[in-house]
């Protein structure tokens, strides 16, 4: 069973989704429910600082999330990525569609720019 | 021998490292159209985004999910439908390896397109391929197995866009369905090899994104079909030029 917890908070027009545990194909309901709470936000920041495991099913979920965000006119940002997960986003070329920042502050500044 | 870093994420060994340009150790294909190319996934594709799943049930008292995936990896090329060829890299299906393929652009066509895939993820219960530029699809496809009741379910799941407008047109004209048939046959062949006499393959196909990504329409410059057409059309001019130089 996939162990995924996602806390959702707001900073003005930006929603922040803090991911803890794992992202696999089994995380779909947790991720999409969290994304549902981001409705109306202009941008969504995904905080991966507490991400412990992600397989290829999890990367597929991020693409689905990206498609939904694009459809809703939202920009997607990622923060808190370890070097390993940065490499995965580079390998899969997801980093061309999800803007990666070193800190939440930097992502929020970019989101409001 | 060094012990593994206890702080490393447990998926670390499963993922390939990012590469700027692909290289391959696979041999035997008529041509290598992959070396020097970049990988291109669903984000870089042109056409509508499809999520497809093909699954077949196998009695699990004889075959665990791990055993099915190991068998699938080891004999991967043998499960492909007739006419399609998979040239495995020297290290087999391992993270970072690049395989070469020869597939018919249209089922039954005598013409074969050369392309390839990069293995981006491997664990005990799954492995994932990503396509290179020039492949008809910009896709990830994951092969996996899991236990469900008394059975092991083997499945292939694709997240794919066509790479360029020409392939998208062919998808609208029937290639999408033909592509489904390719994976249905593959799953049936896998199940037969594991003793399932009459495999039943369940397929699902969902259009996740109906929009086409026009900013990637220029992917057509990588298309082997376009290269082949241009090469054929310009052959007489090249022949005349050679005659002038040598004559």
pLDDT band at B106 (very low <50, low <70, confident <90, very high): low
Put simply, the chain B residues between 24 and 83 with a CB less than 8 A from any chain A CB are: 38-44, 49, 51
Inform me whether the C-beta atom of residue A87 falls under 8 Å from chain B C-beta atoms. Answer: yes
Query: How near does any CA of chain B get to the CA of A92, in Å?
Result: 7
- Under a CB-based contact definition with an 8 Å cutoff, are residues B47 and B111 in contact? no
pLDDT higher than 80, residue A96: yes
Q: Which of B38, B43, B120 has the CB atom closest to A56's CB atom? A: B120
Each as own residue / partner, the long-range contacts of residues A71-76 (CB below 8 Å, 24 or more positions apart, any chain) are: A71/B209, A71/B211, A72/A39, A73/A42, A74/A38, A74/A41, A74/A42, A74/A43, A74/A44, A75/A42, A75/A43, A75/A44, A75/A99, A75/A111, A76/A43, A76/A44, A76/A46
Q: Which of A82, A84, A92 has the CB atom closest to B41's CB atom? A: A92
Radius of gyration for chain B, computed over Cα atoms and rounded to the nearest angstrom:
20
Q: What is the pLDDT of residue B6?
A: 62
Query: How near does any CA of chain B get to the CA of A81, in Å?
Result: 12
Q: How far apart are CA A81 and CA B87, in angstroms?
A: 35
DSSP B162-173: ESSHHHHHHIII
Higher pLDDT, B196 or B113: B196
Inform me whether the C-beta atom of residue A50 falls under 8 Å from chain B C-beta atoms. Answer: no
DSSP state of B188: H
Q: What is the pLDDT of residue B105?
A: 66
Sheet architecture: strand order including A99-100: A4-11, A14-23, A43-54, A75-79, A99-100
Which helix or strand (DSSP H or E) is residue B57 part of?
strand B49-59
- pLDDT tens per residue across span B44-88: 999 999 999 999 999 878 899 999 999 999 999 999 998 899 999
Put simply, the chain B residues between 132 and 151 with a CB less than 8 A from any chain A CB are: 140, 142, 144
Using CB atoms within 10 Å of the CB of residue A73, give its burial: 0 to 12 exposed, 13 to 18 middle, 19+ buried: exposed
Inform me whether the C-beta atom of residue B182 falls under 8 Å from chain A C-beta atoms. Answer: no
**Partners of A99 in beta bridges:** A77
Residue in chain B nearest A68 by alpha carbon = B209
CB atoms A84 and B51 under 8 Å = no
Q: Which of A53, A56, A82 has the CB atom closest to B142's CB atom? A: A56
For residue A70, list chain B residues with Cβ-Cβ distance below 8 A.
Answer: 209
CB atoms near residue B121 (< 10 Å): 25
pLDDT higher than 90, residue B16: yes
Q: What is the mean pLDDT of residues B123-152?
A: 95
């Amino acid at each position: 069973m996939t162990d995924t917890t996602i806390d959702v908070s707001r900073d003005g027009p930006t929603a922040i989704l803090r991911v803890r545990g794992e992202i696999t194909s089994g995380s779909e309901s947790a991720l999409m429910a969290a994304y549902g709470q981001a409705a109306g936000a202009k941008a969504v920041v995904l905080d991966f600082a507490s991400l412990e495991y992600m397989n290829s099913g999890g990367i597929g979920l991020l693409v689905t999330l990206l498609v939904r965000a694009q459809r809703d006119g939202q920009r997607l940002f990622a923060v808190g990525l370890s070097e390993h997960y940065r490499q995965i986003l580079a390998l899969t070329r997801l980093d061309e569609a999800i803007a990666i920042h070193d800190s939440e502050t930097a992502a929020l500044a970019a989101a409001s720019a | 021998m060094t012990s593994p870093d206890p702080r490393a994420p447990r998926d670390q060994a499963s993922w390939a490292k990012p590469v700027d340009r692909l290289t391959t150790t696979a041999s035997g294909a008529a041509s290598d159209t992959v070396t020097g190319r970049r990988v291109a996934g669903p984000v870089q594709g042109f056409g509508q985004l499809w999520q497809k799943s093909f699954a077949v049930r196998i009695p699990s008292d004889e075959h665990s999910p791990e055993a099915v995936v190991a068998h699938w990896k080891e004999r991967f090329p043998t499960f492909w439908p007739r006419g399609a060829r998979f040239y495995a890299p020297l290290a087999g299906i391992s993270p970072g390896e690049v395989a070469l393929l020869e597939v018919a652009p249209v089922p039954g066509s005598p013409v074969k397109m050369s392309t390839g895939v990069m293995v981006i993820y491997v664990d005990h219960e799954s492995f994932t391929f990503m396509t290179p530029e020039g492949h008809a699809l910009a896709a990830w496809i994951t092969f996996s197995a899991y236990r469900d009741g008394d059975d092991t379910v083997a499945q292939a799941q694709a997240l794919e866009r066509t790479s360029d407008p020409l392939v998208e047109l062919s998808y609208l004209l029937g290639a999408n369905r033909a592509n489904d048939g390719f994976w249905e046959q593959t799953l049936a062949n896998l199940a037969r090899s594991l003793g399932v006499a009459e495999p039943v393959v369940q397929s699902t196909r969902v259009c996740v994104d109906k929009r086409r990504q026009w900013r990637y329409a220029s992917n057509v410059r990588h298309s082997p079909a376009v290269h082949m057409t241009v090469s054929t059309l310009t052959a007489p001019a090249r022949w005349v030029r050679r005659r002038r130089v040598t004559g």
